[in-house]
Amino acid sequence: MLEIIIARHGETDWNASETFRGRADVALNETGERQAARLGEYLAGEKIDFIYSSPLQRAVKTAQAIAAPQNLEVNVVSNLVDIDYGEWQGMSRREVEEKYPEPYRDWLDLPEQVRIPGGESLEDVRSRVWPFVEDAVMLCGEGRLVLVAHRVVNKVLICALLGLDNSHFWNVRQDTGALTRFSLEGGRLVLTSHNDTSYLTTLKAARPGDF
């Protein structure tokens, strides 16, 4: 039976400081490295057939921690790279609120209609992620597929797998180090767990949550 596991990378200092990351190749911090290690330990008892990762190091390092106990190679694919935050990249949430009040308000209220200044829209993200995932699922067949990516990418993908449009973006939560699972049951994809961080309960993230 096909299972799709969607993982968000571990914490970085930019997550902790609520700084927009995007294409910036920010490394995992100490907590993020521990989160990645826990992910690998948690999934070690499950046979994984394919692991795909965004090319950014915070995702690759997380994917490698999952792959190591499986003796698998991580397949790095550009389709899973984080959203291009354009002019917001490297800015804190507060800075964006102050310098881009209207676009940021729209981002919170109507995310499906926003193109980030100098960057991507959610539809841009979906248009590159979804065809890749369809191909990866076909290749995986009835195996277990792990995708390691980012908050925005994962939210958009989860919406797509549930048959929801991008207006539901903020209805989906993605904490650092979290796992979301879908299985193919009776010819349809079923969400079996969402934003699972139960294996991280003894780790104290600097700012646990969805940023």
Q: What is the DSSP string of the chain?
A: --EEEEEE---BHHHHTTB--TT--PPB-HHHHHHHHHHHHHHTTS---EEEE-SSHHHHHHHHHHHGGGT---EE-GGGPPP--GGGTT-BHHHHHHHSHHHHHHHHH-GGG-B-TTS-BHHHHHHHHHHHHHHHHHHHTTSEEEEEE-HHHHHHHHHHHTT--GGGGGGS---TT-EEEEEEETTEEEEEEEEE-GGGTT---SS-S--
Region 55-76: what's the mean pLDDT? 98
Region 33-46: what's the mean pLDDT? 96
Region 111-127: what's the mean pLDDT? 98
Q: What pTM was estimated for this model as a whole? A: 0.96
Q: What is the pLDDT of residue 41?
A: 96
Q: Which CATH class is domain 3-82+122-200?
A: alpha beta
Sole residue written with tokens 């979804």: 130
Looking at every residue in the chain, the average pLDDT score rounds to 95
Kindly list the catalytic residues.
9, 150
Q: What is the pLDDT of residue 209?
A: 72
Encoded tokens for 137: 């699922």
Contact assessment for residue 87 and residue 117, using Cβ atoms and an 8 Å cutoff: yes
Whether pLDDT at 16 is above 60: yes
Region 172-199: what's the mean pLDDT? 95
Give percent of the chain above pLDDT 70: 98
pLDDT tens-digit series, residues 138-181: 999 899 999 999 999 999 999 999 999 999 999 999 999 999 99
Domain boundaries, the chain: 3-82+122-200
Q: What is the pLDDT of residue 85?
A: 98
Whether pLDDT at 34 is above 80: yes
pLDDT class for 202, splitting at 50, 70, 90? confident
Whether pLDDT at 205 is above 60: no
